[in-house]
Chain A
Amino acid sequence: MLTVESVSWSVNATRILDEVTCRAPAGSFVGLVGPNGSGKTSLLRLIAGIVRPDRGRVLLAGAAVAGMSRRGAARRMAMLAQHAETDLDLLVRDVVLLGRTPHRRSRWADDRDDREAVTAALDRVDLAGFGRRRWHTLSGGERQRVQLARAFAQQPELLLLDEPTNHLDIGHQLRLLHYVHRSGITTVAALHDLNLAAMFCDSLVVLAAGRVAVTGPAAEVLTAALLRDVFDVDAAVTPHPATGRPTITFRSPTT
C-alpha cells in the first residue's frame, strides 16, 4: 500500500508537482497518465526516494520513504525506466543479477537465493534459458523484459514503471504489461498509451501541470471531456465489445 500525501516539489522556483495526493492499495495496478511535462516522471522519482519532496510525504506500508536508506528503499521498491542503455558487454544473467544488489549478504559471492531469484525472474518474463545470451544481441522488447526480470529479482513490494513500453512493438507492449499485471505486485506505472492504461489499470491518476486533475477507475476517468481538457484532443470513448473497458479512438486536429 502506497500513499502519497500532499507532495510538492520545485526546481529553481518552478513548481513541478503541486499538492499531489494519491494512493495505490496493495496489489493494485495504478496508471499515471497526463501530457508531456505534467510531472509523471518526477512523481515516480519522488516515490522512489531518488529526490525528496519540499513538502508532503510518501508512505510505503505506513513507513516514510524519506526515512529509508538507499539500500532499504531498493529492497522494497524496484524501478523500470523507459530505456535502459549500457556500453558494457553484459550477459542477460548479469543484468538480472543487478536486482540482487540491495539484498546481498556478501560483498563478493552470489548465494543460492541470488541464483534462484535470477532463474525465477527470467521464468516470469518467459525468458528461461536466455541467461547466457549477450545483452547487445537482444531486441528492444527482449531488453525491456530482461529489465523487468531484474526488477522482479529485486523482490519488491512496489513496482515503479516509467513509460516502460515506449519504443516497443504492440506485441511486446501488451506482453510486458501482462507480466507486470500477472505478478500481482503493487504497481504505479506512467503510461502514454491511454488504451493500454484502460486495459490494465485498476485506477488512473491523471496529472496536468503538476496537479492531480482527476483520479478513479479508468471507466469513470477516461471521458471525451477529460481528453479534451487535459490532452487537448478530440476523441470518442466507447466500451470494448468483449471486455467492456473503455476504448479510445482519436480524430485528427481540425484546426
Chain B
Amino acid sequence: MPRDATVTVGLAGALVLSVAVTVTIGPADLSLGTVWTVIGDHLGLTSAGVPLLRDHIVWQLRLPRVLGAAAVGAGLAVAGAVMQTVTRNPLADPYLLGLSSGASLGAVLVIVAGLGAGVGALAGGAFLGALAAFALVIGVASRQATLTPTRTVLAGVAVAQLCAAVTSFVIIWVNEPHATQSITFWLSGSLARVDWTALTYAGPALAAVLAVVLAHARALNAFAFGEEAAATLGIAVTRVRWTLLVAVSLLTAALVAVSGAIGFVGLILPHAARFLTGADHRRLLPVAALSGAVFLVWVDTAARALFDPRELPAGVLTAMIGVPAFVILLRRREVRG
C-alpha cells in the first residue's frame, strides 16, 4: 500500500508542478514569477498588478489551455480504463462507440446549417453529435434488451464509418472552406480553442463522472473474469455496465466538444497506469487520471512550443507517440499468449 500511495501522491505533485511550469512556456517570454503573480492577483492572493497584455496571455490564453489539457487527459484516460474493463477488450478506447465521428458530424452540420460558427455553437453541435452516435450504436447493438460487448464494439465501428461518410458527403456537397477547416480540427484534436467557458462545462462533467466511476471501482474489479463471474460475485452486471458506459460516454462527448478527438490517450494511458499499479481499479483509476493529465499537459505544450511559430494539433503528437506504444503493447500481448 505505501508504494501505491507514493505513486499517487508523486503523480499529483507532478501534475501541480507540470501546470506551474508549462504556463510559463510559450512564444511570449514570461518568467515563473510573472505568471504566478498574475494567477495570485486573479485568485485574490496578491495585488501586484501586471501589465494588461501579459495578464491576458497568462489568464485568458495559457492557463485555461493547460487546465483544459489536464482535464481532457484525465478524462480520456479514465474513460479508456472503464471502457476496456466493461467491454473486456484491452484495445477499447473512449471513441470506441462512434463518439468522435459523431462529434465531427455534429460540428460540421452546425456550420453548414448556419447556426453560428462560435465556439459555443460548435461545441454544442459536437456534443449532440457524439450523443446521437452513441444512441445509434446502442440502438443497433441491443437485441431483446441485452447488449454484448462484441456486438457493441462492432456497432460502434459501423456507426463511426457511417458518420465519417456523411461528414465527407456534407463537406463536398456544400463546398464550404470553413467546414473543411472545422472537421480537420475535430478529427485531429487540439486544445487551441479551450477557454474558461469550455472549462466550466468540462470541469464539472469530469468531476461528476470521476465520482461515479470511483464509487464503482470494486465492481469493476469483479469484471476481471467476465460478466457471469461478476454476477456470481454479487454485481448487478447490467445496471453497473450501463451506468458506467453512459457516464464515460457523456464525459467523452463533453471532452470531444472541447478539444476534438485526441487519440491514443484513452487507449495507451490505462495500460501504462496498470503497469504502475496492477489491475485493481481502486489504485488504477486515480493513477490513470493523474498520469493522463500530466501526459496531455506536456504533449500540448510540446505541440505549441516545439514547432513555433507553427502549432501542431495535440492529437497529431499523441498519435505519433501512441502508435509505437500501441505496437509495443500488442507485442507484449503476443508474448503472453
| Residues of A in contact with B (beta carbons under 8 Å apart) | 45, 48, 50, 69-75, 77-79, 81, 84-91, 94-95, 98-99, 101-102, 104, 107-108, 136, 154
Contacts and interface: CB of A to CB of B under 8 A. Distances in A.
Contacts of A104: 218
A74 B280 CA distance: 20
Interface residues of B, number: 25
A48 B228 CA distance: 11
Q: Which 10 A-B pairs have the closest CB atoms?
A: A74-B234, A102-B234, A71-B234, A88-B279, A79-B232, A101-B233, A84-B225, A86-B224, A70-B236, A101-B222
Contacts of B278: 89-91, 94
A48 B233 contact: no
B50 interface: no
5 contacts: A45-B228, A77-B232, A79-B232, A91-B278, A108-B218
- Secondary structure at the B interface, as helix, strand, loop or mixed, is helix
Task: Name which of B88, B215, B228, B229 has the most chain A CB atoms within 10 A of its CB.
Answer: B229
A98 B282 contact: no
A118 to B, nearest CB: 13
B143 interface: no
Nearest to B282: A108
A77 B336 CA distance: 33
Contacts of A107: 215, 217-218
A107 to B, nearest CB: 6
Contacts of A75: 234
A91 B234 CA distance: 21
Given A88-B279, A89-B279, A94-B279, A102 B224 contact: no
B279 A90 contact: yes
B222 to A, nearest CB: 5
Contacts of A69: 234
Nearest to A109: B282
B232 A78 contact: yes
Contact of B232 (A74, A85, A89): A74
Nearest to B280: A94
A79 B88 CA distance: 20
Interface in B213-237: 215, 217-219, 221-222, 224-226, 228-229, 231-236
Contacts, number: 75
A126 to B, nearest CB: 22
Interface in B21-50: none
A115 to B, nearest CB: 11
Task: Name which of B229, B234, B274 has the most chain A CB atoms within 10 A of its CB.
Answer: B234
A48 B237 CA distance: 14
B90 interface: yes
Nearest to A72: B234
Contact of B221 (A50, A84, A94, A102): A94
A90 B224 contact: yes
Interface in B200-219: 215, 217-219
A85 B218 contact: no
A73 B234 contact: yes
A98 B224 contact: yes
A89 B232 CA distance: 21
B218 A101 contact: yes
A89 B282 CA distance: 15
Interface string B267-299: 000000010001110100000000000000000
Contacts of B224: 86, 88, 90, 94-95, 98
A71 B279 CA distance: 23
Task: Name which of A48, A73, A87 has the most chain B CB atoms within 10 A of its CB.
Answer: A87
Given A85-B225, A89-B274, A89-B278, A50 B231 contact: yes
B222 A98 contact: yes
A101 B235 contact: yes
A104 B232 CA distance: 15
Contacts of B236: 70-71
